[in-house]
């Protein structure tokens, strides 16, 4: 599992999921004077809050993908182990398998040359053991690579969230400072 390398980022992108980069506001005075901002703290905070909300939504989706992959990888490992056991099996073997939650059934499994794999979307196909092993290994490598890219994107997204939160705090503080120095300036903050 550790032998799978992290996939390469697409050219001109900083994340696999295409997450937009949050720009850190170096000079708050210059930033607030930009025509699209017009020194309106409420408008700028609304834009930043909207961007923050989008990042939070992306974070939720990445967390869901990560959980799914973390669950899928052990299942693939178990399937690979089972295929290896079936390849080595020379005679009938008595086993117990899970019928339903906390209900196990004993059965006898004869030696076999094929195995049925659940591919998802209500599709199950029968494969020779060698082909099944190859397919499961490919799926395993793909799942591990996807997990690494999702974890990379989560780190990148955390940085973008932090940058956006810092920008929001700086804009808010700029508005407070402007109101204190000149009460006539339109820098309404709610």
DSSP 185: S
Strands 103-109 and 93-100: antiparallel
Band of the pLDDT at 164, cuts 50, 70, 90? Answer: very high
Per-residue confidence (pLDDT) for residue 179, from 0 to 100: 87
Per-residue confidence (pLDDT) for residue 161, from 0 to 100: 97
pLDDT tens for 27-71 read: 999 999 988 888 889 999 999 999 999 999 999 999 999 999 999
pLDDT tens for 103-136 read: 999 999 899 999 999 888 889 999 999 999 999 9
Q: Residue 110 burial (CB < 10 Å; 0-12/13-18/19+)?
A: exposed
What fold is seen in the domain 30-139?
Answer: Helix Hairpins (1.10.287)
Going 76 to 132 to 3 to 63, the CA torsion angle's sign is: negative
Band of the pLDDT at 6, cuts 50, 70, 90? Answer: confident
Residue 188 has pLDDT above 60, yes or no: no
Per-residue confidence (pLDDT) for residue 189, from 0 to 100: 53
Q: pTM for the complete prediction?
A: 0.80
Residue 1 has pLDDT above 70, yes or no: no
Per-residue confidence (pLDDT) for residue 69, from 0 to 100: 96
Separation in Å, CA 118 to CA 25, 28, 122, 180: 50, 56, 8, 66
pLDDT tens for 140-161 read: 999 999 999 999 999 999 999 9
Whole-number average pLDDT of the chain: 90
- What is the arithmetic mean of pLDDT over 85-111? 90
- What is the arithmetic mean of pLDDT over 7-32? 88
The residue count for the chain? 190
Per-residue confidence (pLDDT) for residue 38, from 0 to 100: 83
């Amino acid at each position: 599992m550790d032998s799978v390398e992290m996939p390469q980022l697409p050219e001109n992108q900083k994340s696999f999921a295409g997450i937009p980069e949050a720009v850190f506001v170096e000079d708050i005075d210059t930033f607030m004077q930009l025509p699209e901002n017009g020194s309106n703290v409420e408008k700028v905070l609304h834009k930043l809050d909207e961007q923050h909300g989008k990042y939070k939504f992306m974070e939720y989706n990445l967390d869901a993908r990560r959980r799914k992959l973390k669950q899928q990888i052990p299942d693939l490992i178990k399937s690979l182990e089972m295929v290896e056991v079936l390849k080595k099996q020379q005679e009938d073997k008595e086993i117990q398998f899970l019928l339903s939650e906390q209900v196990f059934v004993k059965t006898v499994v004869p030696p076999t040359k094929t195995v049925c794999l659940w591919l998802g979307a209500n599709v199950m196909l029968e494969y020779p053991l060698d082909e099944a092993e190859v397919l499961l290994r490919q799926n395993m490598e793909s799942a591990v690579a996807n997990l690494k890219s999702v974890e990379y994107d989560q780190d990148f997204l955390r940085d973008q969230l932090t940058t956006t939160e810092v920008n929001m705090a700086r804009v808010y503080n700029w508005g407070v400072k402007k109101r204190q120095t000149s009460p006539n300036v339109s820098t309404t903050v709610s």
